[in-house]
Amino acid sequence: TCLPAGWKALSQESMNSLGLPEETVAAFQAGEPHAGQFDTVTVTREPLNGDMTTTAYGDANVLAVSTLPEYALIDKQTATIDAAQTPLHIFSARIDAESPIRRYEQLSAVGGGNGYTFTGSFPLSLEDKEAAEVEFILKGVTFTDPAAKK
C-alpha cells in the first residue's frame, strides 16, 4: 500500500499501545490530528476455512458491520484489488455503548488463504481532503509486489 504524504506505518509497539486487537497486522496513521484525533487505517487478518472470493468476503464483512449499533450507510462503491472487485463500504456506527459514533471506510480482500479487512476510522466530521487520503490508501491495496510489476 502506498501512503499519502504525512502518513506513516505504525510499529508493533505503537499498535499495542493503542490497544489494537491482536489480529491487526498493520496500521497507518496521519501525521497531523484531525478534530483532535489521528486518522488511522488498520489491517486485520483472519484465517479462512476453505475457498472464498474477495467479493464474497467483502460482502460478508459489509453484512457483519451493518449490525453495529447506530449503523448508517453513507456510501458504497466498488474497488478493485488485484483484478478482484470488492465493496468499498463507507458507513457510520458506534462500536460500543461508550464510544462516539464514528465514520468508517472499509474494504476486504482475500489473499494466501486469509481474509484481510482494511478499515479507516475517523470522526464524523471527516473533510474531503482526509477522505481522499484514506481512499487513496484503500484503493491502492495489492497483494502483488509493486517491484515485480516493473
Written as one string, the DSSP assignment of 121-145 is: EE-TT--HHHHHHHHHHHHT--SS-
What pLDDT does 26 receive?
93
| Residue 44: predicted pLDDT | 94
Looking at per-residue confidence, does 134 or 2 come out higher? 134
Q: What is the DSSP letter of 34?
A: B
Rounded CA-CA distance 122/35 in Å is 9
Cβ density class 18-30: b for 16+ within 10 Å, e for less = eebeeebebbbbb
Query: Above 60 in pLDDT, residue 1?
Result: no
Average pLDDT of the chain to the nearest whole number: 88
Say how far apart CA 135 and CA 106 lie, in whole Å. 9
Alpha carbon distance 89, 105 (integer Å): 6
Sheet architecture: strand order including 84-93: 7-9, 24-30, 40-47, 114-122, 102-111, 84-93, 72-81
42-65: average pLDDT:
93
Region 71-96 average pLDDT: 92
- The helix (H) or strand (E) run that includes residue 14 is helix 12-17
Rounded distance between C-alpha atoms, residue 48 and residue 58, angstroms: 13
**108-146 per-position pLDDT tens digit:** 999 989 999 999 988 887 777 778 888 888 888 888 876
Structure letter (DSSP) for residue 100: P
